[in-house]
Amino acid sequence: MNILFDARWIRTDAPSDGLSRYSSSLIHELAKRDDINLTILIYDKAQLGQLPEVAYLMANNPAQLYREFFIARLINPHHFDIVYSPSFFMGSYGRRYRLVLTIHDLIFFTYQTPPQWLAWDIRLKWRLFHSSLWPMRRFLNSADAVATVSQTARQELAERRMTRRPVSIVSNAVAHSFRDNSPADHASSRHVVYMGAFTPYKNAECLIQAIAQLPGMILDLCSKIPAKRRQQLEAFIAQCGVSDRVIIHDGVSDQQYRQLLRSARCLATASRAEGFGLPIIEAQHAGVPVVCSDTPIFREVGGEGALYFDPRSPAHAAAQIERLADPELSRQMIRQGLQNTNRYSWAKSAEQVVAICHHVRGQQPHRQQTDAPLDGCR
């Protein structure tokens, strides 16, 4: 079975970005298999630096909308059985192959207001695209099958009637490199780690307010942050009186991230919505307690290996962080977290990808418009 995996969503400037990590991890696992022929689709050869040595096909940046709508004209001559995309956004007009698209969540249809630090033209496109569900439905129904990352996300897709296509789960997972079996005294640590974006629904302000209620505790904000958003947060941090206890790292390497986790009391996230919540299982896999929002997706992903709080209540978040100063409770959360992460592995997720591809391979493509082929790669 010849599979083309769309790797164009891998960011060279932020390899720890959620979609980048999801894509590259699946590709690494799929490349190990001898029951498929794997080719990757890229638009920048710098993306190859994060990927195994496999065949590749050059294409356009998916942000180039006109070229994206007709990308099948580039792919058709190569006679792939399946094209698998880790995103829902991929052109399909005139395709002569089976297509699997992925939708991670519907967050931006719930939180439609674009972040104010984005350029005006991006904010305009954001509002136009997320003002209605029909563009998303149009993309998903153009595929032969749809993947998502959690049962919670699949349920929401069904409730909103987002697609007529079968929806399967291809979970996130965590790299083995995050496992650290060496002993560490997390209960006595004064550090709390946050890894995630700084869009409003991520609710980073809640964690800052929680730290303000925990004298002596330090919050490490690990992710890259846009300059305008950083200015907003720094003003809020100063307003809360914790400028000396909130560290904005503005991006860390995987090694630095693991070191911060190892020396932390816990990883915390106050997000109001997620498609999965990868940092939760990364922390659990590393043997670090987790404190997170009490939401359906975090309950699904974190299981019994986390303490939960109301994301509207910084006081509740602070109380749960404070509870982990108890060494026995800290060790209990670590044990339960490690047990929980056994449910997830990239090898299992790659197996899910192959199972979906086998299923759709025997079907007729749902869209079979024809057009003139182009010669070779661009």
Among residues 280, 194, 271, 274, the alpha carbon closest in space to that of 237 is found at: 194
Mark whether 79 and 137 lie in a shared domain.
yes
Are 78 and 113 within one domain?
A: yes
CATH classification of the domain holding 319: 3.40.50.2000
Query: Is 164 in the same domain as 238?
Result: no
Would you say residue 372 lies in a domain? no
Does residue 326 share a domain with residue 254? Answer: yes
Residue 306 is classified by DSSP as: S
Task: Quote the strand ranges of 256-348, DSSP E.
Answer: 266-269, 290-293, 307-309
Residues 206 and 337 in one domain: yes
Name, in order, each residue with C-beta under 8 angstroms of 261's C-beta and a sequence gap of 6 or more. Answer: 178, 193, 267, 282, 283, 286, 288
How high is the pLDDT of residue 254? 84
Q: DSSP assignment of 117-172, as one string? A: TS-HHHHHHHHHHHT-SHHHHHHHHTSSEEEES-HHHHHHHHHTT--SS-EEE---
CA atoms within 13 A on the CB side of 188: 2
Tell me how many domains the chain contains: 2
Domain that holds residue 302: 176-341
Tell me the CA end-to-end span of the chain in Å, nearest whole number. Answer: 24
Per-residue model confidence (pLDDT) at position 377: 32
What pTM did the predictor assign?
0.84
Does 368 map to a domain?
no
C-alpha–C-alpha distance, residues 123 and 115, integer Å: 7
Residue 300: name the closest of 110, 156, 107 by CA.
156
Query: Are both 104 and 169 inside the same structural domain?
Result: yes
Q: Which pLDDT value is given to residue 66?
A: 86
Instruction: Confirm whether 367 is domain-assigned.
Output: no
Decide if 366 is inside a domain: no
Instruction: Give the separation between CA 42 and CA 215, rounded to whole angstroms.
Output: 48
> How many other C-beta atoms are found inside a 10 Å radius of the C-beta of residue 311?
23
Give domain status of residue 303, yes or no.
Answer: yes
Q: How far is the C-alpha of 269 from the C-alpha of 220, rounded, in Å?
A: 12
Specify whether 274 is located in the same domain as 352: no
| Residue listed under structure tokens 């083309």 | 4
CA angle 74, 46, 353 (to 5 degrees): 60
Distance of alpha carbon 69 from the chain centroid: 24
73: region left, alpha or beta (phi > 0 left; psi from -120 to 50 alpha): alpha
Plot region of 79 (φ>0 → left; ψ -120 to 50 → alpha; else → beta): left
> What is the DSSP-derived secondary structure letter of residue 346?
H
Q: What does the block give as tokens for 220? A: 């490490």
Residue 378, token pair as written in the block: 């661009």
Please give the Cα distance from 151 to 157 (Å, whole number): 10
Question: Which distant-in-sequence residues (6+ apart) come within 8 Å of 240 by Cβ?
Answer: 208, 209, 211, 212
Q: What is the predicted pLDDT for the residue at 133?
A: 76
Query: Which residue, chain included where needed, has tokens 């991929």?
Result: 90
What local confidence, expressed as pLDDT, does residue 15 receive? 65
Dump pLDDT digits (tens) for 75-125. Answer: 999 999 999 999 999 999 999 999 999 999 888 777 656 666 666 666 666
Q: What is the pLDDT of residue 129?
A: 59
Do 16 and 140 lie in a common domain? yes
- The pLDDT tens digits along the chain (378 residues) read 999 999 999 988 766 677 888 999 999 999 999 999 999 999 999 999 989 999 999 999 998 888 999 999 999 999 999 999 999 999 999 999 999 999 998 887 776 566 666 666 666 666 665 566 778 888 999 999 999 999 999 999 999 999 999 999 999 998 777 777 677 899 999 999 999 989 889 999 999 999 999 999 999 999 989 899 999 999 999 999 999 999 999 999 888 999 999 999 999 999 998 889 899 999 999 999 999 999 999 999 999 999 999 999 999 999 999 999 999 999 999 999 999 999 999 999 999 999 999 999 876 556 544 333 323 332
Residue 132: inside a domain, yes or no? yes
Q: CA 312, CA 95: separation in Å to the nearest integer? A: 46
**CA quadruple 120, 122, 125, 131: dihedral, nearest 10:** -80
**186 within a domain of the structure (yes/no):** yes
For 108-194, list the strands marked E by DSSP.
Answer: 145-148, 167-169, 191-194
Q: What is the pLDDT of residue 7?
A: 97
Q: Are 128 and 200 part of one and the same domain?
A: no
Rounded-to-integer distance, Cα 7 and Cα 29, Å: 14
Pairing of strands 246-248, 37-42: unpaired
Residues 104 and 192 in one domain: no
The values of phi and psi at residue 199, to 5°, are -65, 155
- pLDDT at residue 56 in the model: 97
Are residue 142 and residue 191 in the same domain, yes or no? no
Q: Is residue 374 part of a domain?
A: no
* CB atoms near residue 298 (< 10 Å): 23
Shared domain check, 76 and 100: yes
